[in-house]
């Protein structure tokens, strides 16, 4: 009888040991999952905070040269930080039309483009004309949604493209005047 009770005690201790080990394994798994989820959230936040520096310009039709210069500086700092070259996952390019302007001298670039007052991103603005009302112009815009390009692997912005407003110098000047003098812009 004494041996049977010792055997039951030993079996109970083994069951309690297995239960404690199972509980420990479950807790370790849950902490690992929590840590992994936390790291994923931190990564998502970093990607979003990086991309917002570029996506803030999407759909805008009043981007100034100074703002483009700011984007150029930000892209250059990013490329220096990651030692990124064109084609790398973390390389960011800035373009006006189909021409990369990233490696140009910022001051020289601003001087050369001081007459082109406003740019757009993910929107083409054309057909700018005056109306019978002095404080109103008409303009046509089309959304492109192709001016900001993302890397498939990193989900980070790798290219942003800006377009001069209007089809010619006259329409650009008219649009710039309208924005500066707070004219009402009627979109067609």
How many angstroms separate the CA atoms of 147 and 54, rounded? 10
Q: Check residue 26 and give its pLDDT.
A: 82
pLDDT for res 42: 67
pLDDT digit string, tens, across residues 145-163: 789 999 998 889 999 999 8
- For residue 119 the two structure tokens come to 């740019």
CA–CA–CA angle 78, 143, 148 (5° rounding): 15
Q: In which band, very low, low, confident or very high, does the pLDDT at 53 lie, cut at 50, 70 and 90?
A: very high
Collect all residues with Cβ–Cβ distance below 8 Å to 161 and sequence separation of at least 6: 95, 96, 97, 98, 121, 146, 147, 148
**pLDDT tens string 54-75:** 999 998 888 988 899 899 989 9
The pTM of this model reads 0.73
What pLDDT is attached to residue 158?
A: 93
Token duo for residue 34: 């929590």
pLDDT at residue 36, as a whole number: 72
């Amino acid at each position: 009888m004494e041996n049977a009770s010792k055997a039951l005690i030993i079996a109970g201790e083994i069951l309690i040991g297995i239960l404690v080990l199972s509980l420990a394994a479950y807790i370790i798994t849950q902490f690992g999952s929590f840590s992994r989820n936390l790291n994923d959230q931190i990564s998502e936040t970093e990607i979003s905070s990086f991309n917002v520096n570029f996506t803030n310009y999407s759909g805008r039709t009043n981007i100034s040269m100074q703002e483009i210069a700011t984007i150029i500086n930000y892209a250059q700092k990013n490329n220096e930080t990651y030692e990124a070259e064109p084609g790398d996952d973390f390389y960011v390019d800035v373009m006006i039309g189909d021409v990369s302007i990233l490696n140009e001298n910022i001051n020289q670039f601003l001087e050369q483009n001081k007459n082109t007052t406003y740019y757009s991103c993910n929107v083409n603005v054309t057909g700018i004309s005056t109306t019978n009302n002095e404080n109103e112009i008409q303009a046509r815009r089309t959304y492109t949604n192709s001016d900001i390009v993302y890397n498939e692997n990193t989900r980070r912005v790798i290219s942003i493209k800006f377009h001069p407003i209007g089809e010619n110098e006259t329409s650009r000047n008219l649009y710039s005047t309208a924005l500066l003098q707070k004219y009402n812009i009627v979109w067609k």
